[in-house]
Amino acid sequence: MHVRGIISALLVSAALVSGCDFLRAVAGRPSSAEVAAVRERVAQEKAAREKAVADSVAAVEAAMKRQADSLAAIETLRTVPGLAFTRTSLGGIYGSAPAEKYIIIVGAFANPAYASKKAASCEKDGYSACIVHFRSGLRSVGICMTDDPVMVTDTLEKLRGAGVCPPKAWILINE
């Protein structure tokens, strides 16, 4: 019995000196450091999942805002008189048309030389320019071609404010 008491005393003193890790090791259980590492990994995984959900929600909200802005810009293009015209409402386009849906028209000319001169002037100022030939015989000079209705309305407003294009500039809806 005395040996048993000594062994018990040794086990108790080892547990007091080394903490629970000794008893966990004897029992084949993970140490406190291993438990802490698992807790940390689980917390990091949870934080990563929460961040992924938040990022996904933010992306959906941004997409919804872009869609709402696009719808508002399209409504503006349809309702503000003199702001935008479709190519069919102008009698149609002769020859090839630009691929983009929206084009800011900065001038319309019956004389092809004037249209070419205006296009060259726009390109000299740093804008990509195109000449759109209408069936009526007019040649319109377009800049800032895009498929984004928000961008085209914002750009037209900025160009008018900066004096880059005439106040009567308008948007061709190329559909």
Q: At what angle do helices 32-79 and 20-27 cross, to 10 degrees?
A: 90
pTM: 0.66
**Residues facing 130 on adjacent strands:** 142
**Residues facing 54 on adjacent strands:** none
Contact 73, 153 (CB under 8 A): yes
The arithmetic mean of pLDDT across residues 8-31, rounded, is: 68
More confident site: 143 or 92 = 143
Q: At what angle do helices 149-162 and 32-79 cross, to 10 degrees?
A: 70
- Looking at residue 159, its pLDDT comes to 87
- Domains in the chain: ranges and CATH: 2-50 (no CATH), 80-173 (3.30.70.1070)
Please state which of the ranges 7-11, 12-16, 20-24, 59-63 shows the lowest mean pLDDT: 12-16
Per-residue pLDDT reduced to its tens digit, 27-45: 778 887 888 888 999 999 9
